Amino acid sequence: MAGKGARKLFIKGLWEDNPVFRQILGICSALAVTNLLENTLIMGLSLIFVTSLSNVTVSILRQVTPSRIRMMVQTLIIASYVIIVDILLKAYLPDISEALGPYVGLIITNCIIMGRCEAFARSNPVWPSFLDGLASGLGYALVLLTVAFFRELLGFGSVFNIPVLPAEWTRWTIMVMPPGAFFMLGIVIWLVRSLGPKPAPKADARG
C-alpha cells in the first residue's frame, strides 16, 4: 500500500467521511461518555482498537465467508473484540471501566464498526482495512474529545481532572447532563459543516 493511499484513507476517516460529524454515526456513545476527558479518551482508544481489529479480521476472512451469513460473522467478530476490551478494562482500569458502565459493551452496536466492515473491509485487503479502521476510530475519538473538552471545562472547570478554572467558577451543570451533550455535539457538527472546507461534491451524491 503506497503512502498516498494511506493518506487518503486518513483524510476520509478524520474529515471527509468522519463517522460522527459527516455520517452522524456512533452518536449514542458520543453523547453518553463525553462529560469527562479521561473516560472519553479510554472510550476512543477502545473504539479504535475494535474498529481496526474487526476490519482486519473481516478482511482476512473476506474470501471464505459466505456473503449470506456475513453480518452474523461480523457481529461475532466485533462482539468478541468488545468483550476482550471490556475484560481488559475491568482488569487494568477498574475505575474507568466502572465509569463507562454499559457503554463499553454497547460498542458492539456502534454503527461505525459494522459500517466500516460492510463498506470497506469486506472488499479490501488486510492492510488498507486496518488503516481504514484506524482512521475511522481516530475520527470518532477526536470529535468526542473535542466535545468532552468543552463539557468538562464548562461543567467541572477542569481538563483531564486537573482544575483549570478558578474555584469561583460557576459550574455549568447542564454541560454534565445529557442536554449539554446534545448542544455541544450540535454546535460541533454545525461549526465543522459550515466553517470547514466543504468536500468536493461527488458525482454519486447520496443526498
Partner 1 sequence: MIGKRAFSVAYMLLLTLGFTSAVTLVYGVNEERIERNARLKLQKIVLDVLNVPVPFPSQPLNVIEVFEDRVRIHILNGQPIYMALSEDRRDIQGYAFRMSGAGVWGPIHGMMAVSRDLDRVLGVAFLDHSETPGLGGRISEEGFRNQFKGQPLPPARIKDATYFRVHPQATVRSPNEIDAITGATGTSNAVERMVNGALNRYLPFLAKLRLEQEELTP
Distance of closest approach, residue 8 Cβ to partner 1, in angstroms: 32
Query: Could you count the other beta carbons within 10 Å of the beta carbon of residue 62?
Result: 19
All cell numbers assigned to 87 = 475484560
DSSP-derived letter for residue 26 is S
SS3 159: strand
Alpha-carbon distances of 125 from 55, 58, 112, 128, 157, rounded to whole Å = 10, 10, 19, 6, 46
Closer to partner 1 by CB, 92 or 200: give it: 92
Give Cα 196 distance to the centre of its chain. 20
Query: Could you count the other beta carbons within 10 Å of the beta carbon of residue 203?
Result: 5
Q: How deeply is 169 buried, as exposed, middle or buried, from its count of CB atoms within 10 A (0-12, 13-18, 19+)?
A: middle
Distance of closest approach, residue 95 Cβ to partner 1, in angstroms: 9
The alpha carbon torsion through 192, 17, 207, 20 (nearest 10 deg) reads -60
Distance of closest approach, residue 77 Cβ to partner 1, in angstroms: 7
Instruction: Please state, in angstroms and rounded to a whole number, the distance separating the CA atoms of residues 19 and 72.
Output: 22
Distance of closest approach, residue 175 Cβ to partner 1, in angstroms: 8
Closer to partner 1 by CB, 36 or 189: give it: 36
User: Which residues are at the interface with partner 1 (CB under 8 A)?
Assistant: 35-36, 61, 64-66, 68-69, 72-73, 76-77, 79-80, 83-84, 87-88, 90-92, 94, 98-99, 101, 155-156, 171, 173, 176-177
Closer to partner 1 by CB, 15 or 183: give it: 183
Closer to partner 1 by CB, 53 or 135: give it: 53
Distance of closest approach, residue 193 Cβ to partner 1, in angstroms: 29
Closer to partner 1 by CB, 1 or 87: give it: 87
Closer to partner 1 by CB, 97 or 129: give it: 97
Distance of closest approach, residue 135 Cβ to partner 1, in angstroms: 25
